[in-house]
Amino acid sequence: MTIFYYIDPKSVFTCTLIKTGHDGMNEVFQNISKIIERDSKSTTYKFALLRGVIDIIKDNSPFIIHVDGRVVFPLGLLVEKWLIYYYPIIESELRQIHGGANLAFGPQFELLIRQYSCKGGLSAFYNDLRNIGIPAEVKHDFLNLVYQLYDTITRMPMKYLGRSINNSYYSIFQFEAKKKRRIGEYVSDKEFLIKDLGTFSIPVEYYNAFRILGSFISGQDSILFKWAEFSVNASGKRHSVETILNEVLKSPISERDILDSKKIYKSILKEEGNVFCVWTGKSITGFDIDHVIPFSVWKNNDLWNLLPSSSKINNQKRNKIPSADMIENQKEMILHYWGLLDDKLPQRFQKEIRIALTGHSAEANWQSVAIEQLKGSSEFLINSRGYEGWKL
């Protein structure tokens, strides 16, 4: 049994004692990683849902209650968070969905933003929501937006979040609707959101995980934000937090670089008439250069990580991690290409594979060491980091 002490400065108690099995807590943390990495990435809804729940927990809302192993929240508190998150994003016209589609609540939000453009913007809107209520001339547009947000949250991220774990709907988030009242029956303010939009709930173990780690992964308490905030103060506030964050997150490798690898495989194609797909072993006359560990996961353009694949297989694999079994099954093909790369550019190849995979191991045994390390990295990324595994 593992015991976590959570110190809550807002609570009337000095601390909350959370007991959970070590394996159980590890499983929850791993599931959260899988949700972040694997569940739908077509919109930002998933991120807004997780951020909203973490922020509500951090606010230590008195409306949070525990019932039969689940923790229940007013759904209106989540709608309020989405109003705050998306107002400046939509006002700035930042894309929040892939392709040509628009956010489900985009048109309604744009109407509200236009209504407040001459009233003081987001600050004025939030002041009305928290204190005096939404003005009568804006009320209709506001309520349309609120109910569209409600529908979007409950029918999309709440429904699908967690499908990568157990392939079922509403597997983590559940909600209980409340019958809508007619528009003229209430003041449109935060209290209305809390009372009239029903509730949602999550398992208590997820609540505990978010409560313990939420401040580290979301909002102004995250490590990166604290770093940026410190840098702003240290610079005499000559820079903004946004500017500092852009610099802190800047990567030395920003683009895929496959030119050297492609030249080598083109020369093989010219000399031998064909190249073999690393993942199927089939002969191919045209090929893509596949990042074995995807570039989006490791920004790594090392020669050992760049192997030829058919376009069809490369598109199927995309940003997934090849499983340890897949690497073992295709070991001979991987080693075949590593050998060719070692022959063509030995100094660069050996240096890169030593730093990334073989470490201090004897050079005579580098192939088996590198394969085992690659399999270990694959298992870590899939099982601990939550990335989606791939095999044929």
Question: What confidence tens digit (pLDDT) does each residue in 208-237 have?
Answer: 988 887 777 776 667 677 777 887 887 788
DSSP sequence for 214-239 = HHHHSGGGSHHHHHHHHHHHHTTT-S
**241 and 271 in a common domain:** no
375-380 long-range Cβ contacts below 8 angstroms, 24+ apart: 375/324, 375/327, 375/328, 376/324, 377/293, 378/293, 378/321, 378/322, 378/323, 378/324, 378/327, 379/324
- Residues of the chain with pLDDT > 70: what percent? 87
Q: Give the pLDDT band of residue 9 (cuts 50, 70, 90).
A: very low
pLDDT at position 14? 31
Asked if residue 54 is part of any domain, the answer here is: yes
Report the pLDDT averaged over residues 382-387: 80
**264 and 244 in a common domain:** no
pLDDT at position 158? 95
Average pLDDT score over the chain: 84
Asked if residue 37 is part of any domain, the answer here is: yes
Highest mean pLDDT among 127-141, 172-186, 324-338: 324-338
Asked if residue 58 is part of any domain, the answer here is: yes
Q: Give the pLDDT band of residue 339 (cuts 50, 70, 90).
A: very high
**375 and 331 in a common domain:** yes
- Reply yes or no on whether the pLDDT at 273 is more than 80: no
- Reply yes or no on whether the pLDDT at 13 is more than 50: no
Assess contact for 289 and 261: CB atoms under 8 A: yes
**181 and 147 in a common domain:** yes
**203 and 273 in a common domain:** no
CA dist 268 and 310 (Å) reads: 15
Going by the DSSP 8-state scheme, the letter that residue 181 receives in this structure is P
**166 and 265 in a common domain:** no
pLDDT at position 184? 55
Report the pLDDT averaged over residues 302-315: 93
**144 and 60 in a common domain:** yes
**229 and 336 in a common domain:** no
**37 and 123 in a common domain:** yes
- Reply yes or no on whether the pLDDT at 385 is more than 50: yes
Q: Is 151 helix (H, G, I), strand (E, B) or coil?
A: helix
- Reply yes or no on whether the pLDDT at 18 is more than 50: no
CA dist 392 and 213 (Å) reads: 36
- Reply yes or no on whether the pLDDT at 261 is more than 60: yes
What is the span of the domain harbouring residue 67? 2-217
Nearest CA to 75 among 139, 182, 152? Answer: 152
Q: Give the pLDDT band of residue 180 (cuts 50, 70, 90).
A: low
Percent of the chain that is helix, strand, coil (3-state, to 5): 55, 10, 30
**239 and 201 in a common domain:** no
**298 and 354 in a common domain:** yes
Asked if residue 253 is part of any domain, the answer here is: no
- Reply yes or no on whether the pLDDT at 253 is more than 80: no
Q: How many domains does the chain have?
A: 3
Asked if residue 254 is part of any domain, the answer here is: no
Global model pTM greater than 0.75: no
Residue 145, H or E segment = helix 136-155
List the structure tokens of 246: 């852009």
Q: Give the pLDDT band of residue 297 (cuts 50, 70, 90).
A: confident
Question: What confidence tens digit (pLDDT) does each residue in 94-151 have?
Answer: 777 776 678 899 999 999 999 999 999 999 999 899 888 999 999 999 999 999 999 9
**265 and 317 in a common domain:** yes
CA dist 385 and 30 (Å) reads: 7
pLDDT at position 23? 59
Q: Is 78 helix (H, G, I), strand (E, B) or coil?
A: helix
Q: Give the pLDDT band of residue 181 (cuts 50, 70, 90).
A: low
pLDDT at position 169? 94
